[in-house]
Amino acid sequence: MAYASQQFFLQKREVGLIAPVLCTLRILGEDDIGEAVTFHKRITDEIGDAGFFAEDNTIVESIRGEGAVSGIFAEGRLIALRAVSYVKEYVDDALEDLGLDPSEAGNTAVMDFCVTDSAFRGNSIQFFTYLFMENILYPNRYHLHTTVSPKNIFSLTNILKCGFHAMRFKSKYGGHPRFVLYKNLRKPMAVQTRGHKEILLRNYDYHPKVFADGYVGYKVKHKSNGMALLYGKPLVVREESKAS
């Protein structure tokens, strides 16, 4: 299935200079695999924490049909990647994380990662590439799952802004602490903010207790003693009845 590309200008930041650069956002194909894997590895090496990112083989699998990968190109090169996976292993893991019935596997997508060249960060790429992919996923895949390290504050902040909510806090991927985040495109969730709780991200022991009390995380807040996750009680918004 073909998807339309999008063109727009982003701000490129260099030493002593900010300049608008024309960019193209599109779904990647097999011819893009080599560049995508090389770019992903470069960003992983720059950040210095491979636990934040995906394995190379998941990029290849997604591009070849077990998911989808979008890329932003500027000045003849790749400057951002956003990946979604339908690989059974990861979907099954998502179903377990979210407590969903196995019959929902075909309606579930794992929002794998988003990485950006350092010169183009600060353009809200994580946010608008998510919206681009959401448009591709819906209506067939509406259970969206992702995980984020409590140390990755920028990604956690951006994903929550995309309408996800933190549902669990658990050890994954060989013992790394992760928030499990969820968005249901068919049954969007509203959250009560009155009487909310604020838990510092570094207080790993407290997050499971708050989730156990029926709260979900909805926003990251800067406090004088550190970054905190705000929690509220969820309200499920019913689907609007469709005219017959």
Within-domain flag for 95: yes
Per-residue pLDDT tens over the stretch 56-100: 678 999 999 999 999 999 999 999 999 999 999 999 999 999 999
Q: How confident is the model at residue 47 (pLDDT cuts 50, 70, 90)?
A: confident
- Within-domain flag for 243: no
- Pair type for strands 189-200 and 176-184: unpaired
Phi, psi (rounded to 5 degrees) for 126: -60, -35
Domain membership flag for residue 241: no
Evaluate whether residue 194 is within a structural domain: no
Residue 235 located in a structural domain = no
Query: CA gyration radius for the chain?
Result: 18
pLDDT of residue 185 exceeding 60, the answer is yes
Tokens matching residue 181:
């985040």
| Total domain count, the chain | 1
pLDDT score of 191: 97
Q: What is the pLDDT of residue 241?
A: 41
pLDDT digits (tens, 9 = 90+) for 95-129: 999 999 999 999 999 998 899 999 999 999 999 99
CA distances from 21 to 16, 81, 119 (A): 16, 17, 11
* CATH number, domain with residue 92: 3.40.630.30
Q: What is the pLDDT of residues 1-28, one digit of tens each?
A: 556 799 999 999 999 999 999 999 999 9
Percent of residues, the chain, with pLDDT higher than 90? 83
User: Picking from 40-54, 143-157, 223-237, which range would have the lowest pLDDT averaged per residue?
Assistant: 40-54
Q: What secondary structure letter does DSSP report for 105?
A: G
Mean pLDDT of 170-177: 91
Which pLDDT value is given to residue 49?
60
Q: Is 200 helix (H, G, I), strand (E, B) or coil?
A: strand
The closest alpha carbon to 73, from 113, 111, 28, belongs to 28
**Position 40 in a domain:** yes
pLDDT score at 46: 86
- pLDDT (mean) for 183-187: 96
Whole-Å CA distances, 153 to 110, 209, 220, 221: 20, 21, 8, 10
Q: Which domain holds residue 137?
A: 6-141
In a domain, 201, yes or no: no
CA 93 to mean position of chain CA atoms: 16
pLDDT surpasses 80 at 242: no
pLDDT tier at 171, thresholds 50, 70, 90:
very high
**CA gap 182, 166 in Å, rounded:** 7
Q: What are phi and psi of 191, to 5 degrees?
A: -125, 135
Q: How far apart are CA 17 and CA 143, in angstroms?
A: 42
In a domain, 182, yes or no: no
φ, ψ at 72 (rounded to 5°): -110, 130
Residue 152, number of CB atoms within 10 A of its CB: 18
Alpha-carbon 121 to chain mean position = 16
pLDDT of residue 25: 98
pTM for this predicted structure:
0.89
End-to-end CA, the chain: 29
Q: Tell me, what amino acid is at 220?
A: V
How many residues does the structure list for the chain?
Answer: 244
